[in-house]
Amino acid sequence: MNRRLINEVFTIFSSLAALFCLVVLCFLLTVIVSQGFPALSFKFIVSPAKNFGAEGGVLYQLLGSLLLVICAGVISLPIALGVAIYKSEYLQNSRLQLLSHLLLYALNAVPSVVFGIFGLIFFVNILHTGLSWFVGSIILALMILPTITLSCYQSMSSIPHSYRDTAYALGFNNWQTVIQVVLPQGIGGAITGLLMGLTRAIGETAPIMFIATAFSGVTIPQTLNTPVSSLPTHILALTKQATQPQALSNAWGASLVLLTLVLILSISALFSRHYFKLRTQR
């Protein structure tokens, strides 16, 4: 076979694959928007759920989801920065470097339900925390840690070596170099990774459903170990009582709210990556 033929076959194949993805995505979006839109209104967003979610809105679910992921980000970001700095500046041994990379990828590949089970056993059963939104945040933080770390590490390790040489030649010590050279360049990767991590975390049900969320009667938590409700677990609960048409319609509405959040986060991640790439390339 000649090269041109192979080339064309591949072009057609990859275009078809891209087209297929696009069609599926459009189909999903259309279904969710068309089903969810009738339920959606300003009132739906700002009023609490009533009658087990069959009536009312998703105010506390929305706030609960935001609380869970924002707190997860706040926990995860400094740890990820620390790991990334350690990997890029201090870990000299190439085998340990490889091992740490493998561990991060492995952690990234752990199914989210396993994180949930871990949280249930370790926090709820052993440490007796009870249902706690804060434990949910910790588990989500753990789950998005590799995403943030790897993205941050990537941008730190792509800093030109001459930057570090220049800083050392000016008489900076290791920490001063990290603060003035490595962090300013690496922070872009960290923010991009954070947004990607939050995109993933906000849609997750499995890691938090056993440990952090309750279905009804939940408002804004006053203490660390009270449950919240969240959009994905709310949707799950509503669809289980699918016999009630109003509940199902509210489930679609909540799905649309969640989808909007996910889109906002992932588009910000995209912009963040683009912005920081431009800034470091100058």
Partner 1 sequence: MKMNRTGVTQLLQQVAIEDSQIPCIKMQEFNAWFDKNQVLKDINLQFNLHQINCIIGPSGSGKSTLLRSINRINDDITSFKHQGEILLKGINVLADHDVTAIRKQLGMVFQKPCVFPNSIRENILFGLQFDNTYSLQQRQTIMEDKLKAVALWNEVQQRLNSPATDLSLGQQQRLCIARTLAVNPQVLLLDEPTSSLDPVSSRAIEDLMLQLKDRYTIIFVTHNILQAKRIADRLIFMCDGQVIEQGNKEQLFNNPAKQQTWDYLNNEYCNC
Which one, 43 or 279, has the nearer CB to partner 1? 279
Q: Which two tokens stand for residue 166?
A: 């220049």
- Residue closer to partner 1, measured from CB, 4 or 161: 161
Rank residues 171 and 245 by Cβ distance to partner 1 and give the closer one.
171
Residue 270 near residue 207 (C-beta atoms within 8 A): no
- Residue 18 and residue 15: Cα distance in Å, rounded? 5
Q: How far is the CB of 86 from partner 1 (least distance, A)?
A: 16
Compute the least distance from the CB of residue 170 to partner 1, in Å: 4
Is residue 148 packed enough to be buried (19+ CB in 10 Å), middle (13-18) or exposed (0-12)?
Answer: buried
Instruction: Report in angstroms how near the CB of residue 175 gets to partner 1 at its nearest.
Output: 9
Residue with tokens 């089903």: 35
Which among 239, 233, 236, 232 has a CA at the least distance from the CA of 259?
232
- Please measure the distance between the N-terminal and C-terminal CA atoms of the chain and give it in whole angstroms: 44
Least distance from C-beta 178 to partner 1, angstroms? 12
Nearer to partner 1, 118 or 163 (CB): 163
What's the closest the beta carbon of residue 83 comes to partner 1, in angstroms?
21
Residue placing its CB nearer to partner 1 in the complex, 122 or 172: 172
Q: By CB under 8 A, name the binding residues for partner 1.
A: 92, 160, 162-163, 165-173, 176, 180-181, 279-280, 282
Which residue matches tokens 């220049």? 166
